[in-house]
Amino acid sequence: MQEQLPVIKVSVRNLVEFILRSGDIDNRISLGQRADAMQEGSRMHRKIQRRMGASYQAEVPLAIQIETAKYVLLVEGRADGIILEEQVTVDEIKGVYQNLEYLEKPVAVHKAQAMCYAYIYASQHELEEISVQMTYCNLDTEEIRRFKETFLLFDLENWFYTLIGQYAKWADFQVEWKKRMVSSITDLQFPYAYRRGQKELAGDVYRTILRKKNLFIQAPTGTGKTLSTIFPSVKAVGEGLADKIFYLTAKTITGTVARETFSLLEEHGYRAKIIQITAKEKMCLCEEMDCNPIHCPYAKGHYDRVNDAVYDLLMKQDLFSREVLLEQAENYQVCPFEMSLDAAIWSDDIICDYNYAFDPNVYLKRFFGEGQKGDYIFLVDEAHNLVERGREMYSAELYKEDFLAMRKLLKDQDDKLIKALTRCNQIFLEYKRECDTCMVCEDDISLFIFALMRLAERLDLFLRKQREHPKKKEILEFYLNLRNFLNIYERVDERYVIYTEHEADGRFKMRLFCVDPSYNLQECLDKGKSTIFFSATLLPVQYYKEMLSTREDNYAIYAQTSFEEEQKLLLIGKDVSSRYKRRNESEFQKMAAYIADITAAKAGNYMVFFPSYKMLDEVYEQFLKIAPVEVQLLKQESGMTEVEREEFLQAFANGSKDALVAFCVLGGIFGEGIDLKQEQLIGAVIIGTGLPQIGNEREILKAYYDKKADEGFDYAYRYPGMNKVLQAAGRVIRTIDDRGVIALLDERFLESSNQRLFPREWTKYQICDMDNVSRKLSDFWQQF
């Protein structure tokens, strides 16, 4: 029986954009002139399609298979329209923000896309000739401009197969590399002896991928969740259940752990192309990031050289770290960040920030653009962070003062633009007069949106004409913020609250607040095959299931801890509280006394977490009065630089016979994501239940969820607060050799509403007060 040839799939759009691009990266060209304009373009597509007559077939799927000796190349896509008249016409619709008067001819890659569809359709329907129509629509004004051209099938065929010929070496690489990768996975074994519960966890992940479902994992520290999710995902790819793995992180440090885990599997025989995508600002080779051919030598001619740079990289490297990418970019004189995005196309495992999968302004359009999806596995690390990050990604705001500043900056330069700015400012002023401090907008804001659209159109035209304007950077930043606001407005539904607010610094804003990000996140998740959410703090899991996905059939499991109950002492102080009404000098003295007793019981490194910098400073001052001279003190400061953070953590690694006490803020940079093992940290003191500070946005959340399910306080305050507590506590026991103390200093931890959020590992706790805390600590440490 003849062996079936592997199938290589490529979309028409990706094919033409990858092979035919050329020239410079140029941020001087306004957003409206670049490609088609994000998701709202699809809305306009549908509107135009509905206006066409009976001869117009919309969204026609087209595909062609090209068989070679080694594989079948499947080129597929969806034509926006086929017009079945005497002369058949392929219609390609592009929504843009550009004034169409200045569009002299179709964009080359747009036309090429339509020509591909025309060839496929004509060849399959035996047409000797066929027309191509480019329909451009201004998304602000709905103005339409069309370009039409007729082609002979013979000419289209020659052009199309020339294009395919240029793609052949990339398809050849894909086939050969995938064969090698799959072969390496077949005999790949878990690199260590399984810890308790780890094999079951890996099995649950594999079964979830097999069933194309989503899984939420509450994974206590020590379960080895990174390896336990990556390994079964790799095995699933080897068995053809998926094509790529996206390891999504909230912080760079967790991305580094993921990269090390993939490297560990490589040491055991795994062969894959692995890339860690780093933020553009950190990849830039210039002193100042200004992406145009005038200011950046790497932007000039970038697209003429980047494909060669990527192909060479694929031939000589498997792991694409930041250092590797920077060196390759230097060698080929291309932008390292843009090159890294291209290298990701050919990578098997992609490690990146949440933004690259979920943020509508940043997501990887090569994978997640409109209408695109793939056989992807999403591994979402520290998934508790995605709730607030999701809200932020899908929210937008405008400040009235920015309109005044822009009007002043552009004075006497463009009368129509000034008029548009003035109109927006006038409407903003009306909102400002109606708002005392914070006001939810119950009425329709479409009048304001219409004025903003007119302004955006004028700004786009201005930026096109004034490429070298001395204040171009400020104008472009304002324009992009305005566009983002309009784009987010397209998403506004019952999951949003629109409000205006006078901020403490006197500025006035309107905010489109995404209260419930689940629908928007699910849209992104649907572009893949299966998603694994995991964190040491996904409690209550139902809350996270509701916030991060709209599917009703998601799985959830509680991974078994590898640690023994006896490794830690969990104390709850019953005679202390961080409640606002109890915040006085006497209470701060008691907190300081607790810290002194806990840190005196055994010399070592401790972290003390506070709900705010203000309380941290108050207790720190009290502790200074009673702290022994040999105790080393550290204090987290607001806005610490990366170097200062590293120096702060280095103090824990240095080791000392005396006590080190670090005063930190709950939910801050040292409250999660740091890995201090064994003697590097032997105790965490947590003061308060971590409740977020009362504010207008928190109160809007509370009101929204009170109305929805009478759970406003839990959703707005209790759950986010307890998550910060659990994260801080998780810094202590990191390995099976660790021993440590976790002290929860607030009587509210004894309330059932908080205790129901305790993890299973916290069932055995001891209640203490100032009279017996030293004895309990002594009894614990004497065991070791």
Distance, CA of 43 to CA of 489 (rounded, Å): 13
Q: What is the mean pLDDT of residues 57-69?
A: 94
Domain that holds residue 453: 396-514
3-state DSSP assignment of residue 92: strand
Is 126 among the domain residues?
yes
Distance, CA of 563 to CA of 735 (rounded, Å): 8
Q: What is the mean pLDDT of residues 705-718?
A: 94
Domain co-membership, 82 together with 163: yes
| 755 residue type, one letter | Q
Domain co-membership, 332 together with 357: no
Q: What is the pLDDT of residue 100?
A: 83
Q: What is the pLDDT of residue 2?
A: 54
Place of tokens 């002023």: 429
Q: If we measure between CA atoms, which residue out of 268, 247, 442 comes closest to residue 350?
A: 247
Distance of CA 410 to the CA centre of its chain: 35
Distance, CA of 121 to CA of 433 (rounded, Å): 59
Q: What is the mean pLDDT of residues 16-25?
A: 92
Distance, CA of 473 to CA of 142 (rounded, Å): 28
pLDDT band at 38 (very low <50, low <70, confident <90, very high): very low
Q: What is the pLDDT of residue 560?
A: 87
Residue 442 has pLDDT above 60, yes or no: yes
Per-position b or e across 245-258, b if 16+ CB within 10 A of its CB: bbbbbbbbebbebb
Distance, CA of 336 to CA of 355 (rounded, Å): 18
Distance, CA of 530 to CA of 526 (rounded, Å): 8
Region of 382 on the Ramachandran plot (φ > 0 left; ψ -120 to 50 alpha; else beta): left
Residue 31 has pLDDT above 50, yes or no: no
pLDDT band at 27 (very low <50, low <70, confident <90, very high): confident
Q: What is the mean pLDDT of residues 418-437?
A: 96
Is 2 among the domain residues?
no
Domain co-membership, 744 together with 615: yes
Contacts of 548 (CB under 8 A, 6+ apart): 216, 380, 383, 386, 387, 390, 517, 518, 521, 533
Residue 655 has pLDDT above 70, yes or no: no
Q: What is the pLDDT of residue 32?
A: 43
Q: In 10 A of CB 474, how many CB atoms? A: 14
Domain co-membership, 234 together with 291: no
Q: What is the mean pLDDT of residues 52-80?
A: 92
Residue 443 has pLDDT above 60, yes or no: yes
- Whether residue 650 contacts residue 642, with contact meaning beta carbons closer than 8 Å, is answered with no
Residue 619 has pLDDT above 70, yes or no: yes
More confident residue, 50 or 41: 50
3-state DSSP assignment of residue 533: strand
- The number of C-alpha atoms within 13 Å of 682 and in the hemisphere containing its C-beta is 21
Helix axis angle for 415-434 and 400-409, nearest 10°, is 160
Domain co-membership, 602 together with 665: yes
pLDDT band at 29 (very low <50, low <70, confident <90, very high): low
| 764 residue type, one letter | K
Which structure tokens are listed for 525?
A: 């998740």
Domain co-membership, 388 together with 327: no
Own/partner pairs, 389-392, CB within 8 angstroms, 24+ separation: 389/250, 389/354, 389/358, 390/358, 390/514, 390/517, 390/518, 390/520, 390/521, 390/547, 390/548, 391/513, 391/514, 391/515, 391/517
Q: What is the pLDDT of residue 41?
A: 55
Distance, CA of 643 to CA of 184 (rounded, Å): 40
Is 342 among the domain residues?
yes
Domain co-membership, 599 together with 543: no
DSSP symbol at 579: -
Domain co-membership, 582 together with 722: yes
Distance, CA of 475 to CA of 460 (rounded, Å): 10
Domain co-membership, 540 together with 569: no
pLDDT band at 390 (very low <50, low <70, confident <90, very high): very high
Distance, CA of 322 to CA of 276 (rounded, Å): 7
Domain co-membership, 592 together with 449: no
Distance, CA of 154 to CA of 564 (rounded, Å): 74
More confident residue, 26 or 638: 638
Which structure tokens are listed for 43?
A: 């809305």
Is 538 among the domain residues?
yes
Distance, CA of 202 to CA of 221 (rounded, Å): 16
Structural domains of the chain, count: 5
Residue 389 has pLDDT above 70, yes or no: yes
Q: What is the pLDDT of residue 30?
A: 47
Distance, CA of 224 to CA of 257 (rounded, Å): 11
Helix axis angle for 153-186 and 108-124, nearest 10°, is 100
Q: What is the pLDDT of residue 158?
A: 97
* CATH, residue 462: 1.10.275.40
Distance, CA of 738 to CA of 104 (rounded, Å): 69
Domain co-membership, 24 together with 145: yes
Domain co-membership, 411 together with 358: no
Distance, CA of 77 to CA of 369 (rounded, Å): 13
Helix axis angle for 302-316 and 153-186, nearest 10°, is 30
Which structure tokens are listed for 697?
A: 């946005």
Distance of CA 390 to the CA centre of its chain: 8
pLDDT band at 310 (very low <50, low <70, confident <90, very high): very high
Q: What is the pLDDT of residue 656?
A: 63
Q: Name 144's bridge partners.
A: 137
Is 648 among the domain residues?
yes
- Residue 687 φ/ψ, nearest 5 degrees: -105, 115
Name the percent of the chain lying above pLDDT 70: 97
* CATH, residue 142: 3.90.320
Residue 688 has pLDDT above 70, yes or no: yes
Name the percent of the chain lying above pLDDT 90: 79
Of the ranges 87-91, 351-355, 546-550, 651-655, which one carries the lowest mean pLDDT score? 651-655
Q: What is the mean pLDDT of residues 166-193?
A: 96
Distance, CA of 153 to CA of 120 (rounded, Å): 10
3-state DSSP assignment of residue 70: coil
Q: What is the pLDDT of residue 658?
A: 79
- Whether residue 484 contacts residue 396, with contact meaning beta carbons closer than 8 Å, is answered with yes
- Residue 219 φ/ψ, nearest 5 degrees: -120, 100
Q: What is the pLDDT of residue 43?
A: 62
- Whether residue 539 contacts residue 218, with contact meaning beta carbons closer than 8 Å, is answered with yes
- Whether residue 109 contacts residue 22, with contact meaning beta carbons closer than 8 Å, is answered with no
Distance, CA of 148 to CA of 150 (rounded, Å): 7
Distance, CA of 571 to CA of 687 (rounded, Å): 12
Q: Are strands 396-399 and 349-353 parallel, antiparallel or unpaired?
A: unpaired
Of the ranges 138-147, 159-168, 583-592, 658-667, which one carries the lowest mean pLDDT score? 138-147
Is 185 among the domain residues?
no
Residue 366 has pLDDT above 90, yes or no: no
Helix (H) or strand (E) holding 274: strand 274-276
Q: What is the mean pLDDT of residues 700-719?
A: 95
Per-position b or e across 55-93, b if 16+ CB within 10 A of its CB: ebebeeebebebeeeebbbebebebbbbbeeeebbbbbb
Task: Please state, rounded to an integer, the average pLDDT across all residues of the chain.
Answer: 92
* CATH, residue 746: 3.40.50.300
- The number of C-alpha atoms within 13 Å of 54 and in the hemisphere containing its C-beta is 0
Q: What is the pLDDT of residue 737?
A: 83
DSSP letters along 720-740, please?
A: HHHHHHHHHHTTS--STT--E
Q: What is the pLDDT of residue 418?
A: 96
Residue 37 has pLDDT above 60, yes or no: no
Is 485 among the domain residues?
yes
- Whether residue 277 contacts residue 341, with contact meaning beta carbons closer than 8 Å, is answered with yes
Q: What is the pLDDT of residue 519?
A: 97
Residue 475 has pLDDT above 80, yes or no: yes
| 236 residue type, one letter | A
Distance, CA of 279 to CA of 353 (rounded, Å): 9
Residue 39 has pLDDT above 70, yes or no: no
Is 182 among the domain residues?
no
